[in-house]
Amino acid sequence: MLNNFILITLFVTTLFLISSCNPDKKRANHSKTVPTSFNKQVKLKNSHSLLNIALFDTSRRFNNLSDLCKYKMNVETTFYNYKVKDRNTSKQLTDHTIDSLENHNQEMFLLSLYTHLSNLPKNISNFRLLSDIQYSHTISYEKKIELFNSYPESLQKSAIGKQVLSALNLYNHNKGLDVLSFKPVKILNKDLKPNLFSSLFQNRYNHYLIIFSATWCSPCRYQELILEKELPKIDITKIKIISIYIDKNKTKWLDKYKKGGFLWDTYLAENEFNADLLQVLNITSIPRVFLINASKQIVVESSSVNEALDYVRGSKK
């Protein structure tokens, strides 16, 4: 049992480091199928090649969390070996496809973890693992809190409970804030000229969707890929889309700009997580997605583009 606990602890620590980008690591029934988000992005010479990549299968059930973690590591190892082989031979996989596959597997693991934690005994060992699901782009904030509240009140009010709740609230700190009330903060446009952050908000839009990203951030590229796919369905006369990159190396950002790598307005907040704007918003990881309404209030803070778009769709009903 101790070995199993150590295995889970080590895996959870690794998950924390890779789940979303931070200064230290740059980096549907969901079954074993190829996600449509990248299925249309690449044409393979061998149509079966992509299907042979290890994709996480959430239809599988495990007797304990240790077995779940072992399965996750096996999937990652198989995928890594395929990726290395592809890079050295056929080179059929684009960076976007690799991002999609890796993020798909990560999200499927979090969904499986959520499902198993929902059905496992409500003890302190399982309670500690609730923090992991904070990074899920699919599980809603309400579902995460509902699972937290299913544990004994004594655990919820404990020191560990406060830590877990803080983790689950990672993307909920700024909700309700008026972005025009912030102190004046400047960001750079494509000509490297400063613009006030508040100048981005014009009265003619119903919503503003802002995604904080970086050229080195794989999960960010994945969210941008989702946004590109949804773009034809978005009324850009009513929704203003903005990317704010946080690269220290402005050259990489400018290179991507010159190559036509952006389909919407993009700005640069230099100095990564030490940038003034990120300090004001208390952003410690990316991707970070904000949806702001016509009154300039933050109504959604998330790591998921879909969560913001779902809110817009719901507001139209």
- Residue 92, both tokens: 């059929």
Which residues does 174 contact at the CB level (< 8 Å), separation at least 6? 281, 282, 290, 298, 301
pLDDT confidence of residue 41: 37
* pLDDT of 197 over the 90 cut: yes
Which residues does 173 contact at the CB level (< 8 Å), separation at least 6? 282, 301
* pLDDT of 3 over the 70 cut: no
155/53: higher pLDDT: 155
- Residue 114, both tokens: 């959520």
292/315: higher pLDDT: 292
How far apart, in whole angstroms, are the C-alpha atoms of residue 7 and residue 204?
53
How far apart, in whole angstroms, are the C-alpha atoms of residue 38 and residue 107?
15
Q: What is the pLDDT of residues 217-264, one digit of tens each?
A: 888 888 888 899 999 999 999 999 999 999 988 888 888 888 877 889
* pLDDT of 12 over the 80 cut: no
Q: How confident is the model at residue 47 (pLDDT cuts 50, 70, 90)?
A: very low
* pLDDT of 1 over the 60 cut: no
Apex 20 CA angle, 16 and 23, nearest 5:
90
Of 257, 261, 200, the closest CA to residue 225 belongs to 261
Q: Pick the most confident of 83-97, 144-158, 244-258, 299-313.
A: 144-158
* pLDDT of 14 over the 50 cut: no
* pLDDT of 275 over the 50 cut: yes
CB-CB contact of 195 with 276 (8 Å): no
pLDDT confidence of residue 96: 67
Which residues does 90 contact at the CB level (< 8 Å), separation at least 6? 45, 46, 49
How far apart, in whole angstroms, are the C-alpha atoms of residue 112 and residue 106?
10
* pLDDT of 6 over the 80 cut: no
How far apart, in whole angstroms, are the C-alpha atoms of residue 113 and residue 126?
10
How far apart, in whole angstroms, are the C-alpha atoms of residue 128 and residue 125?
6
Q: What fold is seen in the domain 179-315?
A: Glutaredoxin (3.40.30)
* DSSP, res 42: -
123/86: higher pLDDT: 123
87/104: higher pLDDT: 104
13-23 burial, b at 16+ Cβ within 10 Å, e below that, comes to eebbebbbbbe
Mean pLDDT of the chain: 80
pLDDT confidence of residue 19: 43
Taking the domains of the chain in order of start, what are their residue ranges?
A: 2-168, 179-315
pLDDT confidence of residue 162: 94
